[in-house]
């Protein structure tokens, strides 16, 4: 950021008083411009023991399979964001059950939150950001064509948890160079 969003003047790299990180600070009005992690929210939507996946029609990872998820908007809860993203990407309505997987991805400044949900009436389609949507049983998952490590981790958790009929919260930090979400 080169210019202040409050007054339009130049900003400079500076550690504000009482802080410990370099921030962009306005040279005119001293507004501190913080850059914080983005929250990605989505749903692991289930219908008759199958999971709903969307094939991406956008970058990054065009053409690969993912869970319906995206950036949380202002003034919505994570649950609302998860339901909205599922509606937008898979033209599906879901009944959110509970928080299921949460991933810290500090390398790219993201927090990825997925809720276990039930697909309502088994209806789904393909939104503007989706080539196609499909329900998959465990043996049908296109494991080599999954878009993100967080999707693979969530699916592996789900199928292991399903065998135990216990779905605890999974909290992990993903950190390799190749770990990212979208």
Tens digits of residue pLDDT in 87-127: 999 999 999 999 999 999 999 999 999 999 999 999 999 99
pLDDT mean across residues, the chain: 95
Count of domains observed in the chain: 2
Are 49 and 94 within one domain? yes
Are 53 and 101 within one domain? yes
Helix (H) or strand (E) holding 175: none
Q: What's the domain range around 1?
A: 1-35
Are 27 and 61 within one domain? no
Q: At 76, which CATH number? A: 3.90.79.10
Burial group, residue 129, by CB count within 10 angstroms (0-12, 13-18, 19+) = middle
Are 56 and 104 within one domain? yes
pTM for the model stands at: 0.89
CB 116 within 8 A of CB 46: yes
Which one-letter DSSP state was computed for residue 144? G
The reply to whether 70 falls in a domain is yes
């Amino acid at each position: 950021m080169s210019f202040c969003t409050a007054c339009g003047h130049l900003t400079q790299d500076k550690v504000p008083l009482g802080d410990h990180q370099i921030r962009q600070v306005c040279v005119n009005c001293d507004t501190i411009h913080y850059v914080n992690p983005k929250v990605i929210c989505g749903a692991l939507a289930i219908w008759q023991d199958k999971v709903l996946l969307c094939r991406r029609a956008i970058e990054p990872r065009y053409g690969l399979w993912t869970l319906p998820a995206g950036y949380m908007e202002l003034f919505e809860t994570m649950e609302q964001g998860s339901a909205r993203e599922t509606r937008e990407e898979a033209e599906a309505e879901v009944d959110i059950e509970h928080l299921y997987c949460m991933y810290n991805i500090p390398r790219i400044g993201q927090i990825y939150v997925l809720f276990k949900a039930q697909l309502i009436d088994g209806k789904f389609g393909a939104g503007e950001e989706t080539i196609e949507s499909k329900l998959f049983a465990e043996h049908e998952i296109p494991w080599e064509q999954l878009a993100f490590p967080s999707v693979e981790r969530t699916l592996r958790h789900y199928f292991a948890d399903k065998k135990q009929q216990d779905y605890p919260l999974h909290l992990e930090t993903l950190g390799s160079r190749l770990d990212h979400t979208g």
